[in-house]
Amino acid sequence: MPPRLLICRRSRSRASSLTRKARRSLASDTTGTVSAYVDSTSCVAARLHEKQATRANLAAVRRGLGQPEVLSGTESSIQLAGLWCNTGQLGCGDTRARAAPQLLRDLGSISLTSLACGSGHSVAIDAAGGAHAWGDGASGQLGTGDRADRVTPELVRLDGQRVTRAACGARHSLLATARGRVLSCGHNGRGQLGLGELPRGALSCDRPRLLDELLGTRVLELWAGFEHSYFLSGAGLLLSCGAGDLGQLGQGSLADAHAPAAVVGLAVLVHTAASGNYHGLALTEDGVMSWGEGLYGRLGHGTSGREAVPRRVVGLEGLVVTSVACGGACSAAVTADGELYTWGSSTWRQCGHEEGTEQLEPRRLEALSAVQVRQAEPNPNHSPNPDPNPNPNRNRNPNQVRQADGGEDHMAVLTSIGTVLTWGR
């Protein structure tokens, strides 16, 4: 399916950032209002403080791509919607499914700066550096000191640590502090918490614990895969821990790692990274590198083989890449001139090309230049509307891509004029 314009109910809203988790996406406009779209499971979305609205501190939504909804409400409130809530992951006080956004009143008076979602749990960070968690707690991933689910957000005890961002995997959570330290909690069966070997018989940690293994390393960014974790230091060093059976740690072997260790083969500065379920990307001074599970060509090397050591994506050489993104089984890169290159699985055409075949190497998404984007009233089909009277003074390439992100079976891009286009399932 080619890219289609996401038209929200507010005719003049401009998106400023977007994010995803699994089969979910959302976009935030410059006033902090979030547009979320899902299919038949659940979503989580947040309206952030207006001062934070232009940053990529957005909620993720649980499982799905469908019709867009503009989430309204008071400043810094959270809105929830979904059709799947068996562990309270909507945070509304019960496990009842909801098909329309609902205000999460327990956080209505709190100024929020970021939000992260895992498979069945969520963590919100407030402006004071506190963490609020809810949803599935069976593996201790909520950090509340037990393994019970929470149907409403609960403030996590952090023993004086002030956190600034979070990342959530399938059953674990990561928290970055203002001082560059990292706390983790949840399931540690594959070493994804980075705490080293836990006491004999202990497979999880139900309170956030500092990673002593990263003592002396200032962590700026972090990402959570299905059962692995990535950490980017202030010195541009990328470290990983957790499950390594598919090469997703990039450490040269298929062994699990219970303590963070450097991703090998990245001898130069790493600017940013991305994590899929079982693969990773890094944007370095030498170009884009990929590693991990290679099925469907998600690594971009022309084959479907896995790579335990990062390998340069040759198909992007000569391009000035500014950011990278991972979907469940696909990948993307945005260039300085606003072009988007995609590769990997196209079972649901999540690479954006008409042919539903695997893309084993990066391919420029030609369809973006063919879609005429304009600010318009929504139409019933939520489809692009070519402008019959184009303004000659208007930007001739309104679809320059500013940001991209991928879900399990779909992708979404944010353009230079604040519109969002989506495709896939």
Residue numbers of the domain that contains 272: 265-383+397-425
Could you tell me the sign of the dihedral formed by the alpha carbons of 190, 193, 194, 198, in that order? negative
Query: Domain for residue 373, yes or no?
Result: yes
Q: Which of 54, 21, 15 is nearest to 34 (CA)?
A: 15
Q: Has residue 291 been placed in a domain? A: yes
The domain tally of the chain equals: 1
Say if residues 100 and 36 touch (Cβ distance below 8 Å).
no
193 Cβ neighbours under 8 A, 6+ residues apart = 172, 184, 185, 186, 187, 205, 209, 211, 229, 241
The dihedrals phi and psi of 198, each to the nearest 5 degrees, come to: -75, 165
Task: Assess if residue 116 is contained within a domain.
Answer: no
Please report whether residue 176 resides in a domain. no
CATH of the domain at 292: 2.130.10.30
Residue 288 falls within a domain, yes or no? yes
CB distance 307 to 295 below 8 Å: no
Is the Cβ–Cβ distance between 125 and 131 less than 8 Å?
Answer: yes
> Do the beta carbons of residue 218 and residue 234 sit within 8 Å?
yes
Can you say whether the dihedral through the CA atoms of 154, 18, 162, 214 is positive or negative?
A: positive
Q: Would you say residue 82 has pLDDT above 80?
A: no
- Which of 417, 248, 406, 224 shows the shortest CA–CA distance to 333? 406
Q: Is the pLDDT of residue 338 over 80?
A: yes
Query: What is the pLDDT at residue 260?
Result: 97
pLDDT at 199 exceeding the cut of 50: yes
- Decide if 278 is inside a domain: yes
Higher-pLDDT residue of 31 and 258 is 258
Instruction: Report pTM.
Output: 0.77
Alpha-carbon distance of 207 to 213, in angstroms, equals 17
Query: Confidence class of residue 73 from pLDDT cuts 50, 70 and 90?
Result: very low
Domain membership flag for residue 149: no
What is the pLDDT, as a whole number, of residue 411? 82
Give the pLDDT confidence score for residue 100 in this predicted structure: 62
Q: How many CB atoms lie within 10 A of CB 12?
A: 9
- 41 is a domain residue: no
Higher pLDDT, 119 or 35: 119
